Amino acid sequence: MCGINGIFSYHSAAELPKEAELVATREAMWSRGPDGSGIWWNADRRCGLGHRRLTIIDLSDAAGQPMISEDGRYVVSFNGEIYNYREIHAELAAEGARFRTASDTEILLHLYARDGAAMVHRLRGMYAFALWDDARRELFLARDPYGIKPLYTANDGRTFRFASQVKAVLAGGAVSRDQEPAGVAGFHLFGSVPEPFTLYRDIRALPAGHTQLIDVGGPHEPRPFANLAATLAEGARHPAPANELAERIRAGARESVRAHLVADVEVGLFLSAGVDSGALLGLMRDAGPRNIRAITLAFDEFRDTAEDEVPLAAQVAHHYGAEHIVRRVGQREFDDDLPAILEAMDQPSIDGINTWFVAKAAKEAGLKVAFSGLGGDELLAGYPSFDDLPRWRQRFGLFATLPGVGSLAQMLIVRLAPEFVRRQPKAPGFLQYANDWPGLYLLRRGLYLPRELTKLMEADLVREGLRRLRPLRRIAETLVPDPGSDVGRVCALESRHYLCNQLLRDADWAGMAHGIEIRVPLVDFALLRELAPAIPTLAPGSGKTALAMAPSRPVPDEIVTRPKTGFGVPTGAWMSAAATETANPAHSSKGVISRRWSQTVLRACSA
């Protein structure tokens, strides 16, 4: 886990990049890599790479970055972890490659020399990297299939820039802060900024599962190399028998946890009262480490309520013999930390507060790496959306396909039941959007619906933002090819949007603000490939039950049968209080609180 950046003046009429800019961008990412830093320039100083390092694998100075190949041809600046690097190392060494370090970084240099852009198909992990080929004068960028690690780029037509964070790109001082209406509209619609857009017109995300080549003619269009929908579709074409489900999940999860444990420092865990983190703890214990430290957040407001995760988490920790660290957080600390939270938030997001505090607790405990159960709900049909979307489609889909019915119903509901609309602002949109999967997903995950945006933005910006964003078409594109089952469709939608644009972004900025690498064994493309044939047959709860049974000592029953609780109170109440002095959180639904909070966040991030 690190921060990477670079500048390439590819156009022959472009000015040479300034070292001050390269350093300013790199230093804006100090918290991503407090253990070391480096810069590298090519001979004519047209390409410069920067790196801030958090040491996790091969702690020696020799593994510092940017790392140069022995012959000087290739240079890499890398953020993330390659979990199968030992296997690739052995393979390349057997073919005669000479290694100078025991790091995962060095395999990237040798693998690119051998396979070129196709190298990404060999990598298992979370990564974003930039690799310079001095002989071809080309820069090659890649980002992992799920988009766990971020990578942002800016191209002004003569000079190409990139960094791990949007705010770092801006810190260089050479990229415009002009607003991207699609990014702003997207934030209002989803509560996070949908890639490839950012809040700024001149800064884009390299999409998850894409590579990009920049040569003397400038950047080529990003190319996809991994497609979640295609993987799910392939699985649906060769479905696994239902009786194989539990074994597939057990084997896949065990293997993923084993792979994700590779590190030269201690690996901890964020432990909630849910199945995902509990199962991860059990699987970690099975894989070897004994004295695992598990961190749980506690809130005084929850004490002695069903929402207090501490008692059950403590039970799980005890069950697996882990050292349990309970970190109490109160409104006062939230208020104190709020300016730092908004400063660390790279792009506006309506979530991420819990991750901020649990990462803070991990740092206080002296950890650098922690597992998180993120992704389990997307992979194993844990969200209510896996039930809701197919049900809504069945109930409302037919009506919604009738021309004019959606608009008419919306108009009537808004006119006749304004109080209902105030409390359930998305309800009037049901008959308008429920006719297809993208519309259903927008209803499920939307913070606001498109018709509401004129309350938040100028009409011109709304029009332009929606025209550029094309939200429904963009969602539809993530279902190509068709994943082949309802569970697969919702899995693809949740993974490509909510997980990629919100949860993983939050895990990145909130973890990195404290120098904590958050590893997510349930967000793993190899695991998805393994489970894809079983995903169409997942029934409600069956995936989580199977995951709970995956460790040699299964997760306690109390955890498996516990109703799912959402993230909201008390953090929601604190947010609401921070968002407006007059709000009364007791009478506000989670959706309404999120709406208020989103405005606070956007104001802070746009400042």
Q: What is the sign, positive or negative, of the torsion defined by CA atoms of 161, 166, 172, 176?
A: positive
Residues paired with 76 in a beta bridge = 67, 131
What is the distance between the alpha carbons of residues 527 and 541, in angstroms, rounded to a whole number?
A: 19
Q: Output the six-digit token pair for 47.
A: 């390409």
DSSP letter at 13? T
* β-pairing verdict for 369-371 and 267-270: parallel
Q: How far is the CB of 93 from other proteins (least distance, A)?
A: 35
Q: How far is the CB of 266 from other proteins (least distance, A)?
A: 43
- Binding of other proteins by 215 (CB under 8 A): yes
Toward other proteins, which CB reaches closer, 218 or 541? 218
Toward other proteins, which CB reaches closer, 18 or 426? 18
The one segment of 61-69, 89-97, 197-205, 563-571 that binds other proteins by CB under 8 A:
197-205
Q: How far is the CB of 77 from other proteins (least distance, A)?
A: 21
Q: How far is the CB of 454 from other proteins (least distance, A)?
A: 20
Phi, psi of 582 (to 5 degrees): -90, -10
- Binding of other proteins by 201 (CB under 8 A): yes
All residues at 6 or more sequence positions from 491 whose CB lies less than 8 Å from its CB, including other chains: 228, 232, 378, 379, 381, 386, 483, 535
Q: How far is the CB of 152 from other proteins (least distance, A)?
A: 13
* β-pairing verdict for 36-41 and 223-224: unpaired
- Binding of other proteins by 118 (CB under 8 A): no
With beta carbons less than 8 A apart as the criterion, state whether 200 and 178 touch: yes
Toward other proteins, which CB reaches closer, 182 or 523? 182
Residue from 468, 472, 599, 604 binding other proteins (CB under 8 A): 468
The one segment of 10-18, 35-43, 229-237, 255-263 that binds other proteins by CB under 8 A:
10-18
Q: Output the six-digit token pair for 414.
A: 């808004």
All residues at 6 or more sequence positions from 349 whose CB lies less than 8 Å from its CB, including other chains: 191, 192, 193, 502, 505, 506, 509, 601
Q: How far is the CB of 138 from other proteins (least distance, A)?
A: 12
What is the distance between the alpha carbons of residues 8 and 155, in angstroms, rounded to a whole number?
A: 9
* β-pairing verdict for 218-219 and 293-299: unpaired
The one segment of 246-254, 272-280, 467-475, 523-531 that binds other proteins by CB under 8 A:
467-475
Cβ atoms < 10 Å from Cβ of 44? 9
Q: How far is the CB of 224 from other proteins (least distance, A)?
A: 13
- Binding of other proteins by 15 (CB under 8 A): yes
Toward other proteins, which CB reaches closer, 54 or 175? 175
With beta carbons less than 8 A apart as the criterion, state whether 82 and 92 touch: no
Toward other proteins, which CB reaches closer, 206 or 520? 206
Toward other proteins, which CB reaches closer, 22 or 555? 22
- Binding of other proteins by 86 (CB under 8 A): no
Q: How far is the CB of 133 from other proteins (least distance, A)?
A: 16
The one segment of 11-19, 28-36, 134-142, 387-395 that binds other proteins by CB under 8 A:
11-19
The one segment of 121-129, 196-204, 322-330, 485-493 that binds other proteins by CB under 8 A:
196-204
- Binding of other proteins by 288 (CB under 8 A): no
Toward other proteins, which CB reaches closer, 13 or 607? 13
All residues at 6 or more sequence positions from 548 whose CB lies less than 8 Å from its CB, including other chains: 275, 278, 279, 554, 555, 559, 560
All residues at 6 or more sequence positions from 395 whose CB lies less than 8 Å from its CB, including other chains: 434
Strand, coil or helix: 556: coil
Phi, psi of 370 (to 5 degrees): -145, 140
Contacts by 328-334 with C-beta closer than 8 Å and gap 24+?
Answer: 328/297, 328/298, 328/299, 328/300, 329/297, 329/298, 329/299, 329/357, 330/299, 330/300, 331/570, 331/573, 331/574, 331/577, 333/357, 334/571, 334/574, 334/578
Toward other proteins, which CB reaches closer, 220 or 553? 220
Toward other proteins, which CB reaches closer, 220 or 303? 220
Q: How far is the CB of 464 from other proteins (least distance, A)?
A: 8
Show the site string, 217-256: x = touches other proteins by CB under 8 A, - = not: xxxxxx----------------------------------
- Binding of other proteins by 395 (CB under 8 A): no
**CA 277 and chain centroid, separation:** 17
Q: Which of 434, 451, 444, 429 is nearest to 400 (CA)?
A: 434
- Side-chain half-sphere CA neighbours of 264 within 13 A: 12
* β-pairing verdict for 160-163 and 152-155: antiparallel
Q: How far is the CB of 12 from other proteins (least distance, A)?
A: 5
Toward other proteins, which CB reaches closer, 11 or 258? 11
With beta carbons less than 8 A apart as the criterion, state whether 377 and 276 touch: yes
- Binding of other proteins by 477 (CB under 8 A): no
Q: How far is the CB of 407 from other proteins (least distance, A)?
A: 23
Residue from 100, 328, 467, 553 binding other proteins (CB under 8 A): 467
What is the distance between the alpha carbons of residues 76 and 62, in angstroms, rounded to a whole number?
A: 14
Residue from 13, 94, 416, 459 binding other proteins (CB under 8 A): 13
Toward other proteins, which CB reaches closer, 206 or 322? 206
Size of the site for other proteins (CB under 8 A): 24
- Binding of other proteins by 564 (CB under 8 A): no
With beta carbons less than 8 A apart as the criterion, state whether 485 and 236 touch: yes
The one segment of 216-224, 242-250, 364-372, 400-408 that binds other proteins by CB under 8 A:
216-224
- Binding of other proteins by 11 (CB under 8 A): yes
Residue from 71, 178, 335, 558 binding other proteins (CB under 8 A): 178
- Binding of other proteins by 207 (CB under 8 A): no
With beta carbons less than 8 A apart as the criterion, state whether 276 and 373 touch: yes
- Binding of other proteins by 12 (CB under 8 A): yes
Q: Which of residues 142-161 bind other proteins (CB under 8 A)?
A: 155-158
Cβ atoms < 10 Å from Cβ of 554? 17
Toward other proteins, which CB reaches closer, 92 or 206? 206
- Binding of other proteins by 204 (CB under 8 A): yes
Report the interface residues with other proteins, using CB under 8 A.
11-13, 15, 155-158, 176, 178, 201-202, 204, 215-222, 467-468, 470
